[in-house]
Chains A and B, each alone.
Chain A
Amino acid sequence: MVKVRRFTLTAIVIGATLASTPAYARNPFEFQTPVTPVAQETLHIHNLFLATIALMFAAGMGFLLYAVFRHRKSRGHHAALFTGPRTAAQWVLVTIPFLILVAIDYVVMGIPAYHAVLAMADTKRDATLVVKITGSQWKWRYEYPDEHLAFTSNLATPREQLAGSAPTDPDYLLEVDRPLVLPVGEKVRILLTSTDVIHSWWVPAFGVKQDAIPGFLRETWVRIESPGVYRGQCAELCGVGHAFMPIVVDAKPEPEFRKWLAAAKSDAERTAEESAGHLSLDDLVARGRKAYATSCGACHQENGRGLPGLIPPIAAGEPYTATPELTDKLAQRGFYRDGRIVLGSVDQHIDIVLGGIPGTPMPAFGPQLDDADIAAIVTYERNSFGNHTGEAVQPADVAKARRAPADRDHHAEEFR
């Protein structure tokens, strides 16, 4: 009776473990379908390693289970008294498993691993395109330095879905407004850095996960072998928006990629021209509302109230408590008085958005957004959340601020 129950329990354990394997079409032991040489090599290594450790586990468990079922006191088994190998033959027998293990470590696993490490590190040879990826809280910026093209890629999942008040898309949390576009069949050298904290650029189908570290360049490479859309996520905890900065790569065949590149560049030029002109207050506020939601809302919140103690509010006259480091810096720039947020000068406002506030979570948006977006954001902030200045900040003002060394830069000079 007791025995039957034990077997039933064992069956439950095995059954539950198997049941937890999903009814996926794909093999749950395999990575997402690999589309680069590195990912294929990694998958091969992964399969080899899993098979190897499964055999090792089976061997160990085999001995353990044999002993558990055969060497029981209840079966009348008497204990042997050996405490180690005694004869030369036993020593040889005992040594063999360890020799096998060393061979597994350094031959079966070690040699393919060696090749893979060298292949992974070969980022420069034959690379035809360089892409620079910059992580920021919580978005990726993609730059094609040779083509003078750069754009920012933000999460595109609607906020109602994030809040759980709308049904989710199939690509929930894995959709962006502008994907990175790469050519198929070409070796692309990828340079990574960050503007704030450490992020990690991970696309499982590429077998690539490389940290983006502020102040340093890291590199990796991909050669995508089939066209398609590949999705990944940031893989290093980077603050509250960590789950909300997906990576989408659209791999196009070479001719289509060139066509896309040309179109993207002329688009960028046209937008730049349009933005350089004079915009109405209404246009600026409308554009600013959108840009604020993508670039500022995650921290300052869509209602402009910020996060108490951490992120300052934008909303007029809101009380705000934080460490003196932050409130002092805000006060110096005219944005804080007597425990409340106040509206400072336009110049300082533009400067803060452009250059951030060093030493605080406020990042510099200058490298990420164009003049028109920054002008629109500043205009929007000065004409919403209880602020009614009626000022329309023009892209030209931002361009001027970019050229003119602001107060912040004077401080930086002194620091140097």
Chain B
Amino acid sequence: MSHVPALHPHTGREPRGLARWLFTTNHKDIGILYMLFGAMSFAIGGVFALLIRAQLFQPGRHVLTPELYDQVITLHGLVMVFAALMPVTAGFANYLIPMMIGAPDMALPRLNNWGFWLLPPAAVLLLFPFALEFFGIGNGPIDTGWTIYAPLSVQAGLGVDFAIFAVFLLGASSLMASINIVVTIFNLRAPGMTMMKLPLFVWSWLMTSFLLIAVFPALVAGAGMLLADRHFGTHFFSAAGGGDPVLWQHLFWFFGHPEVYILLFPTAGVMSHILPTFARKPIYGYRAQIYAYWAITVLSVIVWAHHMFTSGMPVAGQLFFMYATMAISVPLAVLFFCWLGTVWRGSLTFETPMLFALGYVTLFGIGGLTGLVLADAVADQQYHNSYFLVAHFHYALFGGPIMGMIAAGYYWLPKMTGHMYSERVGKWHFWLTLIGFNVTFMPQFFLGIAGMPRRIPDYALQFADLNMVSSIGALIVGAAQLLFLYNIVAAGRGWYAPASSRVWEAAEGLEFTLPSPPPHHSFSEQPVIS
């Protein structure tokens, strides 16, 4: 290396403008890219959600045609899971993990850049068929539901092909990010930062990475088989050629169930940062939580077929998947117990991150408990594919990861921007989100119990009242997120007081030993953990 690279950290010369963001290998820049991309997708997915609720405001077709409705529900699911939640959690991982473990950067910085820049093309692929349809090509984006069940997905239009290629890109991107995180955690910890001293956010992301590496290939393989069935004359999912449509469901849910924990783990880890800070009390059950993470990780890959109880399954299969699913309640209960133990007899204050964290514990609690009910193979005949299920997984995925990510956003926003946000607006944001969320999804439990199937663009009259309530709630949730946008902009532009390096009175962790915002290269000297 005879040349001194232009980007040498000690020269202080960094590319500016667009080039900085395109070519960056800095973990904080890439983290911010991930988070902004995720936030933008969250807005798009949210618009899809509002379209769904507008359509279901009253019986009788109003807003969307059935074709467009199917596309919107599919894209809502895919965008929220793959383009909003996963990138946001990956953004926090990129931004925080190196600082939390005292590392200079991620272990594989160029891979990091590549991993991120695969995401925008994937999102474009997913939505591009809208444009093609506009020019008379094809019939719009994928419309099979986010589960892409064969043979519907074999029969459907070219939107499915675009979604398959998006899945390929997402798979590559996720694997790159996961491998990078595992390598970073294993190799770049500062002296004294042993595995059993790692902050729990880091541990939770380690488990997420393991799961992604274990299960995402199943989805990519399934997508490849689907592509072959659609265009190359294979019959993986067609009985006529010796295949089986249910094979797709196995492949999808072998990925899909752990995916729930992939989304959940990072926010479960976040709880063990926010709760101790605002309870002014050390984490309760640090080791127990790590063991619970491990238990959930292992169990999550052997329960997938509980999504398929109505697909037809032998008695032994039903019993196995039912009891294995129930077993997950134990390590999850350990997490809840530890969160309550952390808050118990603390000295509590209720800044916005704490409010969202407590909201997370409550709403995700409802999601988890109703999941226990869904585990029952026979009762599931009533719940499956009804609005009860829709309500359950929104409590689990909005009440869990989204509430958790908003909490994390408020918690680390002052650290990232160097400025506080408006507490007043933050509290409004919380209460409107909490109320709006419950008004939206609590009625959906009752709709499901009354017998309303999911994924229908129009419904029978007995479901009218509750759907109207649900739609009103969705509008509240949607509007409330504008307050979040305000707070992000406010902190970014520095409209409120500057943040100290510790930000919160009782915040712990290496990231809080650095100034706010942290310098481009976090540690000029390697920290040593005693």
In the complex, whether B486 has a CB less than 8 A from a CB of chain A is: no
In contact, A109 and B326 (Cβ under 8 angstroms): yes
Interface residues on A, range: 35 or more
B307 nearest CB across to chain A (Å): 12
A-B contacts, 12 listed (Cβ < 8 Å): A13-B431, A42-B381, A46-B379, A53-B370, A71-B347, A162-B458, A164-B60, A172-B59, A202-B385, A213-B245, A243-B458, A310-B157
A222 nearest CB across to chain B (Å): 12
In contact, B151 and A198 (Cβ under 8 angstroms): yes
Question: Once the chains are docked, how many angstroms separate the CA of A60 from the CA of B144?
Answer: 39
Question: Once the chains are docked, how many angstroms separate the CA of A116 from the CA of B449?
Answer: 19
In the complex, whether B183 has a CB less than 8 A from a CB of chain A is: no
Question: Once the chains are docked, how many angstroms separate the CA of A204 from the CA of B136?
Answer: 42
Most chain A beta carbons < 10 A, residue from B145, B329, B378, B449: B378
In contact, A105 and B373 (Cβ under 8 angstroms): no
Given A53-B369, A243-B66, is A67 in contact with B381 using a C-beta cutoff of 8 Å?
A: no
The segment from B14-22, B119-127, B336-344, B515-523 found at the interface with A is: B336-344
Question: Once the chains are docked, how many angstroms separate the CA of A119 from the CA of B67?
Answer: 39
A340 nearest CB across to chain B (Å): 14
Which residue of the partner chain, among B244, B280, B450, contacts A28 with CB atoms under 8 Å? B450
Q: What is the predominant secondary structure among interface residues of chain B facing chain A?
A: helix
Question: Once the chains are docked, how many angstroms separate the CA of A344 from the CA of B365?
Answer: 62
Please report B residues at the A interface, Cβ cutoff 8 Å. Answer: 59-62, 66-67, 70, 133, 136-139, 143-145, 149, 151-152, 155-158, 231, 238-240, 244-246, 279-288, 310-312, 315, 318-319, 322-323, 326-327, 329-330, 333-334, 336-337, 340-341, 343-350, 358, 361-362, 365-366, 369-370, 372-373, 376-379, 381-382, 384-386, 431, 434-435, 438-439, 442-443, 446, 449-451, 453-461, 465-466, 469-470, 473
Which residue of the partner chain, among A120, A170, A307, contacts B378 with CB atoms under 8 Å? A120
Convert A215-240 into 0s and 1s, putting 1 for each residue whose CB lies closer than 8 angstroms to a CB of B: 11011000000000001111111111
Residues of A within 8 A of B151 (CB): 196-198, 214
Question: Once the chains are docked, how many angstroms separate the CA of A109 from the CA of B380?
Answer: 13
In the complex, whether A290 has a CB less than 8 A from a CB of chain B is: no
Residues of B within 8 A of A213 (CB): 239, 245-246, 311-312
Which residue of the partner chain, among A49, A211, A239, contacts B373 with CB atoms under 8 Å? A49
Residues of A within 8 A of B434 (CB): 13
A273 nearest CB across to chain B (Å): 35
The segment from A75-83, A126-134, A391-399 found at the interface with B is: A75-83
Question: Once the chains are docked, how many angstroms separate the CA of A400 from the CA of B287?
Answer: 76
Residues of B within 8 A of A63 (CB): 340, 344
Question: Once the chains are docked, how many angstroms separate the CA of A232 from the CA of B450?
Answer: 11
In contact, B344 and A235 (Cβ under 8 angstroms): no
Residues of A within 8 A of B288 (CB): 84
Question: Once the chains are docked, how many angstroms separate the CA of A325 from the CA of B158?
Answer: 12
Residues of B within 8 A of A310 (CB): 138-139, 157
Q: Which 10 A-B residue pairs are closest in the complex by CB-CB distance?
A: A215-B239, A243-B456, A116-B378, A204-B451, A53-B369, A218-B312, A164-B60, A79-B347, A80-B345, A105-B326
Q: Which of A64-123 contact B (CB under 8 A)?
A: 64, 67-68, 71-74, 77-84, 94, 97-98, 101-102, 105-106, 109-110, 113-114, 116-121
Please report A residues at the B interface, Cβ cutoff 8 Å. Answer: 9, 12-13, 16-17, 19-22, 28-32, 38, 41-42, 45-46, 49-50, 53, 56-57, 60-61, 63-64, 67-68, 71-74, 77-84, 94, 97-98, 101-102, 105-106, 109-110, 113-114, 116-121, 161-164, 168, 170-174, 196-198, 200, 202, 204, 207-211, 213-216, 218-219, 231-243, 307-310, 321, 323, 325, 358, 360-361
In contact, A168 and B461 (Cβ under 8 angstroms): yes
A9 nearest CB across to chain B (Å): 5
Question: Once the chains are docked, how many angstroms separate the CA of A114 from the CA of B279?
Answer: 43
Residues of A within 8 A of B384 (CB): 209, 235
Residues of A within 8 A of B281 (CB): 79-81
Residues of B within 8 A of A174 (CB): 460
Please, which residue of chain B has its CB at the minimum distance from the CB of A171?
A: B460
In contact, A309 and B61 (Cβ under 8 angstroms): no
A sample of 17 more A-B contacts (CB under 8 A), given A161-B60, A172-B59, A321-B136, is A20-B469, A42-B382, A45-B379, A49-B372, A57-B365, A71-B279, A71-B344, A82-B284, A106-B323, A113-B378, A168-B461, A214-B238, A235-B384, A237-B145, A237-B149, A243-B456, A307-B67
